[in-house]
Amino acid sequence: MIKTALSEEILLTIEKPARYTGNEVNSVYKDKNMVDVRFAMCFPDVYEIGMSHLGIQILYSMFNTFDDVWCERVYSPWVDLHRIMKERNIPLFALESQDPVYMFDFLGITLQYEMCYTNVLQILDLSHIPLMAADRTEEHPIVIGGGPCAYNPEPLADFFDIFYIGEGETAYRKLIDLYRKYKKSGMSRREFLRNVSHISGMYVPCLYEAGYDDDGILNSFEPVYPDVPRTIRKEIEMNMSDTYYPVKPVVPFIKVTQDRVTLEIQRGCIRGCRFCQAGMIYRPVRERDVELLKSYAVEMLDNTGHEEISLSSLSSSDYSGLEELVNFLVDHADKKKLNISLPSLRIDAFSLDVMSKIQDIRKSSLTFAPEAGSQRLRNVINKGLTVDDIMEGATQAFLGGWTRVKLYFMLGLPTETEEDMRGIAELSNEIAKLYYELIPKSERKGRVQIISSTSFFVPKPFTPFQWASMNTKQQFLDKAHFVNDCMHEQLNSKSIKYNYHEADVSVLEGVFARGDRRLSKVLVEAYKRGCLFDAWTETFREEPWLDAFDACGIDVAFYTSRERSTDELLPWDMIDVGVSREFLKREWDNALNEKVTQNCRAGCSGCGARVFGGGVCYEG
C-alpha cells in the first residue's frame, strides 16, 4: 500500500477523502524506477467530473500500454482541500504514486470547457510549477494541453508549453520519443520545444508572436523561426476500430457523475448545426465496428462490475449499426440485469421503440432539443428538425407511456426576434396540449410535465457563427424574462416548468471562447482574487471577475458584442481542422438567408473534411 500524500488528520476533515487516496479498481501501478517518462494526466475539475470523462480514460489506458511510460491521474482539489494545501504548502500530487506533480516529466491538462481556466492555474500553482511557461526551466514538467478548448488555445497560451490539437491516439508516441532524446542530449527546453513544433498537431505558443492594430484587433500572427510551421493541422484517428480503448477503465470508490461503462460508438456528426463546435471540429463521422463494440461491452462490464452501460456519440441515432448493437445489449441486459443509457437520440419511431425496450415501466423523461422556438430560426441554425418531427415524436412518446418531456432551447441566436422567443412558450404549450388531446382522462397518471430550459448562445471557433455578435448579460436576462412571461400566458402553463442558464457565466464563456493571448493576465488576476470552480453555481462569483477585467484594462464587449468581419484574422486561424474557412463563410451566409444545408449522408456540402481520406465522406 502506497503511503498517502495527505495525513489522516487532513483526510478526516475534508469532504469525500476518497477523491485523493487512489487505489481504485483497474488503476495502473508501475515501478517508477523502471520507466523513462512519467506523465501526470489532469482533468482540471473535481474528481467526480474528471472520472466521468472518457477521453482521460482512453489516454490513461493508451499511455500505460507503453512499457517506458507510467501515466497517473490528477484532479482539482475541492475548495476545502485547496485552502489546506495553500496554508500548509502541500504540493499537488498524482493519485497512483501520491508523488508531487512537479516530479513528473509531463503534466497533461484536458480543456473541456472555458469555465475551468482558473482551475488550470490552480493546478499549476498547487503543483509548484510557475504559472508562466516562460518562467519554467529544465527542472519543471512540460505542460501540455488538449481537448476541445485547445482549438482556440490563445487565452491560455502563456501558461502552456505545448497544445496538442486533435485526437490523442495518433501523435503522443512521437512526442515521448523526442522527449527521451531531449533528456539524454542536453539540449535546452527551448530547443526541445522548437523540435516539438515539427510533430504534426503540436502547437508551441512561445514560438509565435501576435500583433494588434490600434483598435485592438489581431492583425498578424507569425512564427518566430523560419522552420516553425505557420499552420497546425489537427490530429485525427481515422481507424476507430483499430485503436486504443479502455476495456479496463478505472472504477471509482465513490459515486461520480457518469457512474457507468461508456461505449463510444462513433466520432463526429453528420448534422451540421451551425452553433455546434463539436459537429465541426470532429468531422468527418467515423464509426466503430459493431462486432468490436459488442465485445468491448461484455469485457468492460466484466472488468468493472458496473450495472449500466451508455452509448456515447454526438448523435447516436446516426450510427449505422445502432439497431443491431442495441438488440445485443438488450439481450445481454436481460441476463445480467443491466441498465442501458442512450443519450443523443433523435426522437423518432425507431428511437422510441428502442427506448421502450431499455427503460423500466415507470418511463423516465424524454429529451427533445428543438434549440429554437420557430421554424425560421431552426432553419437559420440548420437544426434539421421541423415542428411536424417534434409533434410526431411527442405523439409516439405519449402513446408509449411517457409523461415527462424535457425541451432544450437557446436564447440569443443570430437574427432572433420576439416571435422566435414567443415560439418557445407556444411550442411547449402545444406539446402539453397534445398530451391532453391524445390520452383519455381515465388513462392519465396525473398532469403531463414539460420542462423547458434555455441556455444562452455563445459563438464558438470553427463554427459558421464564429463571426457573430453575442448578447450582453442584460439582453440575455431580458429575453429569459420575456420567455418566462410568455410561458405564464399559455393555457397549459401549469404543466410547464421553465428554467434558464446563468447569464453572467455565459458572457465569461463567450470572452474566453473567442479570446486572444492578452486575456492571460485577466485569468491570473481573477485567480489571485479567488476565482475557482467557475463552472459551479455555488462557487462562481461575478464581481471578482469584473474587477479583474477592470484592473487589466480589458473590455469584455470587445470579445463578445463585436461582430467580426469574415476577413478578420482570428486568434485560432493558425489551426487547420479540415473544415475550410470558405465553407464556414458559406454557411454563415446560408444562416442569414435562412437556408438549410443537407446532412452529410444526404449529400456532401463540400466542407473540406474529405481531406482526411475516410469516414462518412467516402461511404458508398
**Confidence at residue 321, expressed as pLDDT on a 0 to 100 scale:** 94
**CA 611 vs CA 229, 268, 283, 417: distances in Å:** 19, 15, 11, 38
By percentage, how much of the chain surpasses pLDDT 70? Answer: 97
In a domain, 275, yes or no: no
Domains contained in the chain, number: 1
In a domain, 153, yes or no: yes
**Confidence at residue 537, expressed as pLDDT on a 0 to 100 scale:** 95
Q: What is the CATH number of the domain that holds 198?
A: 3.40.50.280
In a domain, 471, yes or no: no
- 251 DSSP assignment: B
CB atoms within 10 A of CB 55: 17
What's the grid cell of residue 550?
A: 477592470
**Confidence at residue 339, expressed as pLDDT on a 0 to 100 scale:** 82
Question: What is the extent of the structural domain holding 201?
Answer: 8-233
In a domain, 154, yes or no: yes
Among left, alpha and beta (phi > 0; psi -120 to 50; other), residue 49 is alpha
In a 10 Å sphere around its CB, with 0-12 CB exposed, 13-18 middle and 19+ buried, how is residue 361 labelled? exposed
Q: Is 445 helix (H, G, I), strand (E, B) or coil?
A: coil
In a domain, 292, yes or no: no
**Confidence at residue 362, expressed as pLDDT on a 0 to 100 scale:** 44
Backbone angles phi, psi at 83, to 5 degrees: -60, -45
Among left, alpha and beta (phi > 0; psi -120 to 50; other), residue 337 is left
**Confidence at residue 133, expressed as pLDDT on a 0 to 100 scale:** 98
In a domain, 21, yes or no: yes
Averages of pLDDT over runs of 10 residues in the chain (620 residues) are 92 97 97 97 98 96 98 98 98 98 98 98 98 97 98 98 98 98 93 98 98 97 98 97 96 91 96 97 98 96 92 92 90 79 71 67 70 97 91 88 91 98 98 96 91 98 98 98 98 96 97 98 98 97 98 98 97 98 98 97 96 93
Q: Please give the Cα distance from 172 to 178 (Å, whole number).
A: 10
What's the grid cell of residue 384?
A: 434539421
Q: Please give the Cα distance from 511 to 117 (Å, whole number).
A: 12
What's the grid cell of residue 599?
A: 446532412
In a domain, 485, yes or no: no
In a domain, 22, yes or no: yes
Question: Helices (DSSP H) in 384-469: which residue ranges?
Answer: 387-399, 418-438
Backbone angles phi, psi at 575, to 5 degrees: -100, 135
**Confidence at residue 360, expressed as pLDDT on a 0 to 100 scale:** 52
